[in-house]
Structure 1
Amino acid sequence: MTNDNQSSHTQGRLADEEVIDLQQYWRTLMRNKWGILGFALAITVLTILVVFSMKPVYKATATLLIESQQANVVSIEEVYGLDKSNSEYFLTQFEIIKSRRLAEKVVKKLSLQEHPEFNQEPFLSFNWREMLPFDLPENDDAAGMSAAEVERIALNKFIDGFSARLAIVPIRKTQLVKISFEANDPKLAADVANAIGVAYIESNLEAKLEVTMQASSWLSERLGGLKADVNAAEKALQDFLDAENLVGEEGGTTIANKELELISSKHIEAKRDRLNLESHYNQIQVAKGSVRLYELVPGVLQDRTVQEFKRQLLEVELKRSDLAKRYGSKHPSMIAVQSEVANARNSLNSQIKSVINGIKSDYQAALASERSLEKALARTREGLQVLGRKEYKRKELENEAESKRAVYDTFLQRFNETNATGDLNSANARIIDPAIVPSLPEKPKKKLIIVAAFVASLMFGVVFAFLLEALNNTIQTARDVESKLSATLLGVLPLLKQDKKNPHPSYREFLESNHSSFAESVRTIRTGIVLSALDNPHKVLAVTSTMPDEGKTSVAINMAFALGQMEKVLLIGADMRRPAFNKALGIDKHAIGLSNFVAGTAKLEDCIQHLDEGGIDVLPAGTIPPNPLELLSSQRFSKALRVLEGQYDRIVIDTAPSQSVSDAMVISPLVGGMIYVVKADSTTYQQAKAGIKRLKDVNAPLIGVVLNQVNTKKAAKYYGGDYGGYYDTYGYAEDSKNTA
């Protein structure tokens, strides 16, 4: 259960730390509002002075149209090598407009280096070298340079400043570009903007003319070499034709092909004739000289003469057959018929042999013709192959000559086109909206600058206020006491007005203004002390602080006065180094006191004085000793304190600051409780924490912390919940002595 409570407490504390306290931010701003506003107003006034002392700057703008395609008379782009179809072309033109070369051309054309705007004398001009008591070495940067080089460097610097005033802004999704120039002289701004556009157009035309001239020169040189190449190629072709005896369009190839076709057809016919005769010839060879077998040869059978002789032989044989029926073999008619038959037979045989010989002769002739045609065909084919190789070489030479001729003709055409269009250069841009002299300045935008300066300074003041707040490590609020010092807050004492007559009003405020908020605060602290130990009251109280001047003496005096209203109280001044008691309470500064008693030079009852006004007894510090710490740590002081405890209800001791000396640590074992005083908005929490730690290291009975000299009205206004209504609750806020 305990672990759960601790976990819940830790989570709750972390959640509180993570919450952004907007009210705290607002209070920070309210605490520093006059400083922030004062700083913002000062910066704004300074800005107004600067802005109204600035010269007005006028801006003139000319609009230029850059055409992506031109209506050329002939196609010169191929000679120039320009491709305007891509977006890089426009980007290139924009860079050309912004180029140093173009800017230099405009600077020289308008003589801007001599223009009054660029040759203004400074408001304060003096030779600061003459004011020095010693001589400085001269600048050797220009040593060894010629006048032209120095002039060139000066011109480059001038162009840098000129280009800084020039702005080239293309209009999206168009071919338009805005050329703007800023100058104190409105007419100069318009003249320069227009001059930049004109210079760009002229530069483009000059570039085209230069390219045209270069192209013409280059083409002229190339034409001479190409002409020689064409002549050489044509001569090589003609020499080859002459050497190889090639004539005709294709060098005789057509004739050779026709001859080959003719011989091939003749050879086919001769072969067909030979095949036809060869069958007859083979039959004749099979007959082996037999006339009867010869008669069966188709060529013999088809011969008309043989057929006629056969008819005659048949008629004679028919005649002999008729006569044989009437006559005998011896009959003259039979003999005559036999003679006719024999003659007819002989004639037939002779004709058959003649036909056979003719077939043989035809076959031999056909065979010879076929063989002759085969040889002629082979020769023709070989000749055609040789002619084909020659034709290949001829075509190669002819193609080479034609290609060189075509290149020559192309260059000649481009050369003629370039020369013909050398003076027909059309501009690729034109000014469609020339710059006019502006009537109103472009800058400075005085209202905008003043408002921006006010807002920026205001924001800077806010940031600086938060920075100071973050860097402020003093104890300012009751919350700081608890969170930063981890100590109990007994109460808060307000800051009282001071003047020369009353530099320490808090010493007697409780007595003189018993109903003031200061007095009520003292009573509140008294109540806290009393309630902190009801069962075992703190009879001896020690008051200390971190550093001097935090108001510990004031707290001790007022606490003694407050306790004296209810009890018998003794106030002891134990700060024997810087005693403030005597002056605060109106006691003689040479009066004997604690140091005299502890040193044994005076009796205790002689050292104690009674204050009728406050109703308390006082033991002042006495004579300042050389060794205060030894006196406070002595047995005599300890015994005296025990004796006084028996005589008084409450003893209040004002001791030295804990961070300065060790008096408080020495006294701490002898007291019942210690009050730690911290001056608000002055003591850092590191110092206060270190002082409290020193007391805790010696087990000092620390009751709590009193936050002193708090500007209550300011704290209630700027720290809200920590002080709001704290002093008004009792109805004493009308006290005129509280500070605002």
Structure 2
Amino acid sequence: MTMVENVRNGLLIGASPRGGEEGREPWFLDPREILRTVRLRWLTVLLPVLLFLAAAAAFTHAVPPQYAASTQILIDPRGLQVVKDGLSPPDQASDASLLLVDSQLRVLTSDDVLGRVVDRFDLAQDPEFQGRETLIGAIKAAIARLTGRTEAPADPRLTALRALRDRVGARRLERSFVVELGVTSDDRDKAARLARGIAETYLARDAATRSDTTRRAGEAIEGRLAELRDALRRAEDKAQAYRARHNLVGTRAQLVSEQQLTQLSDQLGAARAKALDAGARMRQVEGVIAGGRFDSANEIVTNPTITALRGQLAGIERLRADAEETLGKRHPSYMAAVVQERALRQAIEAEIRRIAAASRNEYQAALASARTLADTLERRKADALKVGDDFVQLRELERQVEASRAVYEAFLVRARELQEQQRLDTSASRIISPASPPEKRLGPPTAVIFVAALVAGLGVGLVGSLALELLAGRVRSRRRLEGHLGRGGLDALPRAPRGMTGAAALRRDFGSARGDGAYEVAVARLRHRLAAACPGQVPLVVLVTAADDRAGKSGLARALALSAAADRERVILVDADPSGLLTRDLGAAAPRDLAATLGARGSLADALVTLPSGLRVLPRPADLPRTLAGSLADALLRSDADLVVVDLGLVGGDVVTERLIADERIPALLVAVSARRGRLAAIDRALKAIGAKSRPRIVVTDAAAGE
């Protein structure tokens, strides 16, 4: 007892019960369990690492380094406003402009442009663009030759075009009209040359396309000029013939008949106005004559003859008045003045009558002229009504002439403009960032590839090993078993040394030397813990069984018995295993058959074999009736030993084992679980078979140090 209490704590494997294990994380998240799995399944971890490293080496050898060169092209959809009327509208909506740039992006990587680049750089003779011979390709070619399905060799230019198409990429930069073109190649200088060549070929092809489009449009218009000219001439001839046939003489705006009608209408109005004016003057003069007041009419007052006569009359009247006042009325001078006055008055009246006659004649002439013009106007109106329908048709023909003339003139001007535009480059697209040889290769460096392969292989190997462990369902460690069962405090024993197993351990003389190794200390601690758990039990009967580890179970029973015998306790080791491992290791027969002893209710000592170390062993008979299981339990409980260790069979293996496990008088039941060989499914079945009435102590054998 003292030996066990004074040993170092590091040697007491499983020395103290563990508690508070609820909520433990799964075992495959425990770094110690992961390391244990890696040690056990190192080949599973190493194989993916080697495969990934080999794949990385094959990849770096098979795939040559690639270099990407890029250039940027500004595609301005507006173009240059060189002439007023271009072939395409210079101003477009933003969405239409973006669509135009996207369309040019397709043109940039089209087979037309790439094919010209192939011809320019003679890529049909470049091995890089003809495809290198690979192992898989050689195998396919060999199979095709064997099966007689060989294909005709492909066109080198088409092969180079397809390879170049796969190596070219273009994209429009966000929120701009700038297109970025990228080309990959095994040679950095070749990548830059190809990028520049594609950009230059695209710009040259775009300018040529614009010029060709303008030329074809001009040719199409010129081809229509002759037809339009003939159509204009036919329309003019038809209009002129119609005018001559219907005698429609005049300007383009108005016929002669219409002009005459307008003039006659104006003349008639003027004649009627003149007649009215003449009539008014005539009536005024006649009224003056009738009234006797010659100075009230404008025609008379303003007449120069009358004005002169009136002047003379005034002079004569002054002379007459002077003669009358100075000489008298009988004086000859007065009489001569009176005669002259009378003569002047008669002359004025005669002149007024002449003015009245002239006014009457003028009025009659004006009336006659108005009547003549009215008759002529009526005749012209009748003639105009006759030619109205003909003039309507003539105007329609003249409109056709004007339309044909307008179209012909527009086509003629446009044809001349397009002829000049063919020689002008109105494109505003240009290279804004020429391609230069790239400094770095594409993809990660070789060291990064191998490191990634190593990490990936380790990850796959680790996950694979953990998955295999999960599928295997092995115990492996006490931690894993505790996590599976959901309870802690399991006892654990390290792997037993060679001297503690087999027949040599049973014949060992513990009186000469006492073992103090880790295994012996752990067994002693387990034994004393059993004694503390069952106080006052004399003898202490301990049943040892297992789910699937028969050798570990027998080794545990043997170790407990030998440890007690080393402490000079009275110990009986009972072999109740149907396989009889202890009996075979003992190599000695019992003095009396156990079945006969139990049947006769004799002393158990008659069937025991005492070893030199003082350990007494009860061998298993060849045939132990199941009806004697209860008698065996009674005999064990009545024995004179301090400790009775019973090596049972596997749980569910035989009736005697089940009867002894179910006997409630026996308080101690140990279930041995091998960390190396035990399976979780078998342990679950065994614990389910034992039941929940008794709580067996689970002892993990072959446990690693530190558990």
TM-score between both structures, scaled by the size of structure 1? 0.67
Q: Which amino acid aligns with 1:409?
A: V
> Aligned pair 1:684/2:679, yes or no?
yes
Cα offset for 1:570?
A: 3.1
Equivalent position SS for 2:621: coil
Aligned to 1:230: 229
Native 8 Å contact 1:593 1:620 kept in 2? no
Aligned amino acid, residue 523 of structure 1: A
Distance in 2 between residues matched to 1:130 and 1:259, nearest whole Å: 102
Distance apart, 1:620 and its partner CA: 1.6
Contact 2:546 2:672 in 1 (8 A): yes
1:397 to 2:401 alignment:
yes
Distance between the aligned counterparts of 1:672 and 1:251, measured in 2?
Answer: 140
Distance 2:608 2:204 in 1: 113
Deviations 1:198-219 (A, max 9, x none): 6885687678668866865664
Separation in 2 of the partners of 1:560 and 1:502?
12
Structure 2, unpaired ranges of 5+: 1-18, 92-96
Once the 2 structures are TM-superposed, how far is the Cα of residue 544 of structure 1 from its aligned partner? 1.1
User: Does the CA contact (< 8 Å) of 2:474 and 2:680 recur in 1?
Assistant: yes
TM-fit CA distance, 1:524: 1.3
Aligned residues of 2:629 and 2:656 also touching (Cα < 8 A)? no
Deviation by residue 1:316-370 (Cα, 9 ceiling, x = unmatched): 9996996998679xx9x99x99998887666554443332333334445456667
Q: Contact 2:575–2:582 (CA<8 Å) still a contact in 1?
A: yes
Change (3 A) 1:29 1:76: farther
Q: Contact conserved, 1:68 with 1:428, CA < 8 A, in 2? A: yes
| Deviates most, 643-652 or 173-182 | 173-182
Residue 95 of structure 1, CA deviation: 0.9
Secondary structure of the residue that 2:697 maps to in structure 1?
A: strand
Q: Within 5 Å, which residues of 2 pair with 1:419-498? A: 446-464=446-464, 466-467=466-467, 473-486=473-486, 489=489, 491-498=491-498
Contact preservation (8 Å) 2:281, 2:299: yes
How is 1:262-277 mapped onto 2 (pairs within 5 angstroms)? 277=278
CA distance in 2, matches of 1:584, 1:161: 79
- The one-character-per-residue Cα deviations of 1:223-259 (angstroms, maximum 9, x if unpaired) are 23222212322442465357545667x6569999999
Q: Cα–Cα, structure 1 residues 702 and 58, in superposed 2: closer, same or farther, change >3 Å?
A: closer
Instruction: Tell whether the 8 Å contact from 2:67 to 2:441 is kept in structure 1 after alignment.
Output: no
* In structure 1, distance between residues paired with 2:67 and 2:702: 66
- Distance (whole Å) between structure 2 residues aligned to residue 538 and residue 373 of structure 1: 169
**Correspondent of 1:646 among 617, 638, 647:** 638
Instruction: Give the residue type in structure 1 aligned to 2:558.
Output: I
Bigger mean CA deviation after superposition, 367-376 or 643-652:
367-376
Match of residue 5 from structure 1: none
TM-score (norm 2): 0.69
- CA distance in 1: counterparts of 2:544 and 2:282, whole angstroms: 167
Distance 1:615 1:56 in 2: 77
1:696 pairs with one of 674, 681, 691 = 691
**C-alpha spacing 1:68/1:540, structure 2 compared with 1 (3 Å):** closer
Asked if the contact 1:223/1:412 (under 8 Å) is kept, the reply is: no
- Counterparts in 2 of 1:405 and 1:201: CA distance versus 1, 3 Å: same
SS of match in other structure, 1:17? coil
- Following superposition, the deviation at residue 597 of structure 1 comes to 5.1
User: CA contact under 8 A between 1:39 and 1:458: conserved in structure 2?
Assistant: no
In 2, Cα distance between the equivalents of 1:246 and 1:417?
45
1:554 aligns with 2:558: no
Q: Which residue of 2 aligns with 1:292?
A: 292
Cα pair distance change 1:478/1:113, threshold 3 Å = closer
How do residues 259-338 of structure 1 correspond to structure 2 at under 5 angstroms? 277=278, 279-281=280-282, 283=284, 290-292=290-292, 296-306=296-306
- Tell me which of the two structures has the higher relative contact order, counting C-alpha pairs closer than 8 angstroms and 6 or more residues apart: 2
1:406 and 2:415 equivalent? no
Asked if 2 retains the 8 angstrom alpha-carbon contact of 1:552 and 1:677, the reply is yes
1:656 is matched with which residue? 649
The amino acid of 2:638's aligned partner reads G
Match of 1:17 among 10, 17, 23: 23
Deviation at 1:580, TM superposition (A): 0.8
Alpha-carbon spacing, 1:510–1:286, altered in 2? closer, same or farther (3 Å): farther
Identical amino acids, percent of aligned pairs = 14
Q: Cα distance, 1:622 vs. partner?
A: 0.8
Change (3 A) 1:593 1:542: farther
CA contact (8 A) 1:498 1:505 kept: no
- Structure 2 distance, partners of 1:62, 1:558, is 77
Instruction: Kindly report which structure 2 residues correspond to 1:306-385, keeping only aligned pairs within 5 A, or say none.
Output: 306=306, 348-366=348-366
Output the CA distance in 2 between the equivalents of 1:251 and 1:524.
136
User: Is 2:275–2:370's contact at 8 Å kept on the other side of the alignment?
Assistant: yes
Instruction: Name the CA distance, whole Å, in 2 between partners of 1:352 and 1:301.
Output: 10
Matches within 5 A, 1:27-176: 28-29=34-35, 32=38, 35=42, 42=50, 46=54, 50=58, 54=61, 57=64, 87-88=101-102, 91-92=105-106, 94-96=108-110, 101-102=115-116, 105=119, 110-112=124-126, 118=132, 150-152=152-154, 160=162, 164=166, 166-167=167-168
Q: Distance in 1 between matches of 2:464 and 2:674?
A: 25
Which residue identity does 1:24 align to in structure 2?
D
Residue of structure 1 equivalent to 2:9: none
Q: CA deviation at 1:402?
A: 3.3
Shift in Å, 1:421: 8.7
CA distance in 2, matches of 1:591, 1:246: 165
CA deviations 1:488-542 (Å, max 9, x no partner) are 746322102459x966877678947532222221221112211212256674332
Describe the SS at the equivalent of 1:515: coil
Counterparts in 2 of 1:410 and 1:45: CA distance versus 1, 3 Å: closer
Looking at structure 2, the residues matched to 124 and 316 of structure 1 have their Cα atoms a distance apart, in angstroms, of 155
Contact 1:274-1:366 within 8 A present in 2 as well: yes
Aligned residue pairs, count: 657
8 Å contact from structure 2 (residues 576, 646) kept in 1: yes
In the alignment, the residues of structure 1 paired with residue 120 and residue 330 of structure 2 have an alpha-carbon distance, to the nearest angstrom, of: 151
2:291 and 2:116 map into 1 onto residues whose CA distance is 120
Q: 1:573 aligns with which of 575, 584, 588?
A: 575
2:228/2:404 contact within 8 Å kept: no
- 1: distance between equivalents of 2:559 and 2:69? 84
Native 8 Å contact 1:475 1:685 kept in 2: yes
Distance 1:561 1:513 in 2: 11
Paired amino acid for 1:520? V
Aligned residue identity for 2:608: Q
Specify the code of the residue in structure 2 equivalent to 1:223.
Answer: E
Residue 524 to residue 262, structure 1, CA distance change in 2 (3 Å): farther
**Alpha-carbon contact 1:591-1:622 (below 8 Å) kept:** no
Map 1:535-546 → 2, pairs under 5 A: 539-546=540-547
Correspondence for 2:94: none
SS at match of 1:356: helix
Q: Which amino acid aligns with 1:706?
A: V
Given that 1:51 and 1:444 are in contact with CA atoms closer than 8 Å, whether structure 2 keeps it comes out as no
Deviates most, 679-688 or 464-473: 464-473
1:98–1:168 contact (8 Å) kept in structure 2: no
Does the Cα contact within 8 Å between 1:491 and 1:524 map onto a contact in 2? no
* Cα offset, 1:453, TM superposition: 3.0
Change (3 A) 1:30 1:103: farther
- How far apart are 1:550 and its partner, in Å? 5.2
Q: Is the 8 A contact 1:316 1:337 kept in 2?
A: yes
How many Å apart are 1:545 and its aligned residue? 0.9
**Worse-matched range after superposition: 395-404 or 155-164:** 155-164
Deviations 1:667-687 (A, max 9, x none): 223242222111124323332
8 Å CA contact 1:295–1:301 kept in 2: the answer is yes
